[in-house]
A and B are shown apart, each in its own frame.
Chain A
Amino acid sequence: MSEHDLERLLLIRHFENKLLELFEQGRLHGTTHTCLGQEYIPVALGALLKAGDHVFSNHRGHGHYLARFDDPDGLLAEIMGRSGAVCGGVGGSQHILRDRFLSTGVQGESLPVAAGVALHLKRRSPGEVALVHIGDGTWGQGVVYETLNIARLWSLPLLVVVENNKIAQSTEVSAHMAGTIADRAAAFDIGYHFCDSILPDVIRAELGPLVRKVRETPMPLIVEFDTYRVGPHSKGDDTRDRVALRRAADHDWYVRFRQAMPERFGAVDRRQRTRVAAVADAVAARPLSGGSNAF
């Protein structure tokens, strides 16, 4: 694993842990959804993306943002409503726009928007893609199917990344999804790939040729990651039993990578922990964000 990957993974991990800590201390307001356990997905995908590609993120988007921009400062300021916030503190945790990165807080809503951008890219800058992150629970939204239908009919360079952590808020996948994502992809004649690796290099080797096809054909693709949500849905709201929590913890890349390369890991881990702590102190000391002139 490259140094860069390890740095990013641990940056995101410590960022998310810091948020939960700040919440516990009553120093954060509102809500937040951490991506603990799923950090490796945007980090792995990051190397497959070009500057011209668009990324559409969702409620669980801090990792998506930090994988694209090395900017814990701007993101934390956004979440804490302090000066230097990426979006003036108006959007908060779930509504971020920066260059070609956009997140929104309504499940499934950004899928057709991403398809619209993909249509634009296909026409105006062929070779670029629109990537959209969704969870397993978001497959309950009708607009997902409307969009898959259109994306296939119009051959759009749309890369749908499903982070199947097998739970939506408190509802297990067995209680919210009939059939499978693979079969749903097949029904729309859309390419599908299942990925259960947590190793960025392995993931890239698997997906590289497929993403190239999305760019070159162009054609939509659905990639389903078998993943685990190690933390709560948002703050302290985890109702899973101990077996389920154990299973999630057992799949945590953090534990596995630390075991596999204790020394290297330890050094980067300390560095990012310290970095995030310093960012948090600095951001907390700043004046409140001025909002913006826009709203």
Chain B
Amino acid sequence: MRSERVVENLNRALGGLLDADPNTYLLGEDLADPYGGAFKATKGLSSRYPGQVLSTPISESAVVGVAGGLALAGNKAIVEVMFSDFVTLAFDQIVNFASKSVTMYGQWVPIRLIVRCPTGGRRGYGPTHSQSLQKHFMGVPGLSLYELSPFRDSLATFHEMIASGGPCLFFEDKVLYTSRMYLNGVVDDLFSFDHLDARGTVARVWADDGDDPDCVLICPGGLVHRAVSAARSMLIEDELTCQILVPAKLYPFDFEPVLPLLRQSRLICVVEDSTAGGTWGADLAHAIHGLLWGRLGRPVRLVHARDSVIPAAAHLERSVLVQDSTIRRAVKESLANA
């Protein structure tokens, strides 16, 4: 039997949350059936949970604010932003209301709010529908960032976000939606996966578990296919072994489960889709340099999109966004520099 598609898994997770607790709400544009959301993540849900799934006007700021109010009143609220690019319109509600309210009243105020952000390019939607905006939300006190992963049941990630008691952004790579979940430790004929912690927060992909790897790639869920493809070429054509770490939680980052592996690797490379400058990877690299200074053979390598808008035409978009070849080139270059 083939595994379910990532979007089916996501849909099932959302249904599970709505089913388990009638005080769970799902709000967003065009969520209701028969449309079921721009990427069909909410298909069937408004029919099954009519009072809990609400299609809204095109009002990102107010919708996230309404969800913040529902959360303030003790509910669990999930918002789907149609394209993550539009989450900028809710920046005030996320940063100044939801995130701050957890602590700014001198008491701990749970705000169980999840803002789902369909993210990333490679679909030719052009500059305002293709961005990866994770970096703009880092370092906001009280706010956690998660990302959809083909290695982890989304329900587990949702439970983790809700249990945190604070607002979370959940980035969902749009290309990942239609790909399949990985099951039973199998990625493909060469690569396997497991999890570094019991909760399955960090997935690890490897081809050869024996020796210390030449490289560890750290990447969020949206980069998995490109990272695996790069690791495959490097294994076959360059005789370089890569392991890939895929954390479900991007920020704040928990280094504990990954440190043993990072210590063993000749190179650590952080891969992401955001544009250059002030990236997630830069933040991780800085922390890793601090944690492993003296043990690192070379600086942590960053791979990200170019400092550019994301063009619509496929060939131009490819020239801006991270490709498997970009990763391979960066790893080889870094390893060549002793």
A binds B: yes
- Chain B interface: which of A4-12, A88-96, A254-262, A267-275? A88-96
The answer to whether B96 and A292 touch across the interface, beta carbons within 8 angstroms, is no
**CB contact under 8 A between A119 and B69, given known A146-B61, A147-B62, A150-B57:** yes
Among A86, A88, A291, A294, chain B packs the most CB atoms within 10 A around the CB of A294
For chain B, residues 87 to 115, give those with C-beta under 8 angstroms from any C-beta of chain A: 92-93, 96-97, 100-109
The answer to whether A294 and B107 touch across the interface, beta carbons within 8 angstroms, is yes
The answer to whether B62 and A120 touch across the interface, beta carbons within 8 angstroms, is no
Any chain B CB within 8 A of the CB of A32? no
- Chain B interface: which of A64-72, A103-111, A200-208, A236-244? A103-111
The answer to whether A149 and B57 touch across the interface, beta carbons within 8 angstroms, is yes
State the Cβ distance, B327 to closest chain A Cβ, in Å.
39
- A150 CB contacts on chain B under 8 angstroms: 56-57, 59, 62-63, 66
The answer to whether A95 and B62 touch across the interface, beta carbons within 8 angstroms, is no
The answer to whether A87 and B106 touch across the interface, beta carbons within 8 angstroms, is yes
For chain B, residues 11 to 69, give those with C-beta under 8 angstroms from any C-beta of chain A: 51, 54, 56-57, 59, 61-69
The answer to whether A116 and B72 touch across the interface, beta carbons within 8 angstroms, is yes
Identify which of A87, A113, A123, A291 contacts B66 (C-beta below 8 A). Answer: A113
- Closest residue on chain A to residue B95 by CB atoms: A106
State the Cβ distance, A46 to closest chain B Cβ, in Å.
21
State the Cβ distance, B311 to closest chain A Cβ, in Å.
30
What is the number of residues of chain B that contact chain A, defined by CB distance less than 8 Å? 36
- B92 CB contacts on chain A under 8 angstroms: 106, 109, 143
- A116 CB contacts on chain B under 8 angstroms: 65-73, 77
Identify which of A95, A121, A143, A153 contacts B65 (C-beta below 8 A). Answer: A143
- A291 CB contacts on chain B under 8 angstroms: 106
- B67 CB contacts on chain A under 8 angstroms: 116
Any chain A CB within 8 A of the CB of B75? yes
- Closest residue on chain B to residue A123 by CB atoms: B51
- Closest residue on chain A to residue B66 by CB atoms: A116
- B108 CB contacts on chain A under 8 angstroms: 293-294
- A115 CB contacts on chain B under 8 angstroms: 62, 65-66, 69
The answer to whether B97 and A292 touch across the interface, beta carbons within 8 angstroms, is no
- B107 CB contacts on chain A under 8 angstroms: 87-88, 97, 292, 294
The answer to whether B66 and A295 touch across the interface, beta carbons within 8 angstroms, is no
- Closest residue on chain A to residue B60 by CB atoms: A146
State the Cβ distance, B241 to closest chain A Cβ, in Å.
44
The answer to whether B96 and A96 touch across the interface, beta carbons within 8 angstroms, is no
Identify which of B59, B73, B75, B104 contacts A90 (C-beta below 8 A). Answer: B104
For chain A, residues 241 to 295, give those with C-beta under 8 angstroms from any C-beta of chain B: 291-295
The answer to whether A295 and B70 touch across the interface, beta carbons within 8 angstroms, is no
Among A87, A102, A130, A150, chain B packs the most CB atoms within 10 A around the CB of A150
- B70 CB contacts on chain A under 8 angstroms: 116-117, 119-120
A113 to B108, CA, bound (A): 18
Identify which of B51, B93, B141 contacts A109 (C-beta below 8 A). Answer: B93
The answer to whether A113 and B103 touch across the interface, beta carbons within 8 angstroms, is no
The answer to whether B106 and A113 touch across the interface, beta carbons within 8 angstroms, is no
The answer to whether B69 and A106 touch across the interface, beta carbons within 8 angstroms, is no
The answer to whether A90 and B66 touch across the interface, beta carbons within 8 angstroms, is no
- Closest residue on chain B to residue A97 by CB atoms: B105
A87 to B107, CA, bound (A): 7
- A110 CB contacts on chain B under 8 angstroms: 97
- A97 CB contacts on chain B under 8 angstroms: 101, 105, 107, 109
- A292 CB contacts on chain B under 8 angstroms: 103, 106-107
Any chain B CB within 8 A of the CB of A210? no
State the Cβ distance, B140 to closest chain A Cβ, in Å.
13
A147 to B92, CA, bound (A): 15
Identify which of B54, B56, B69, B141 contacts A113 (C-beta below 8 A). Answer: B69
State the Cβ distance, A259 to closest chain B Cβ, in Å.
41
Q: Which residues of chain A have a CB within 8 Å of any CB of chain B?
A: 85-91, 95-97, 102, 104, 106, 109-121, 123-124, 130, 142-143, 146-147, 149-150, 153-154, 291-295
Given contacts A111-B62, A112-B68, A149-B57, 8 further A-B contacts (CB under 8 A): A97-B107, A104-B101, A109-B97, A112-B69, A113-B72, A116-B71, A149-B62, A294-B109
Q: Which residues of chain B have a CB within 8 Å of any CB of chain A?
A: 51, 54, 56-57, 59, 61-75, 77, 92-93, 96-97, 100-109, 141
Closest 10 CB pairs of A and B: A116-B69, A112-B65, A88-B106, A146-B62, A146-B59, A87-B106, A97-B105, A295-B103, A116-B66, A120-B73
Cross-chain pairs A/B with CB under 8 angstroms, 11 sampled: A95-B100, A109-B65, A109-B96, A112-B64, A113-B97, A120-B74, A149-B57, A150-B57, A292-B106, A293-B108, A294-B107
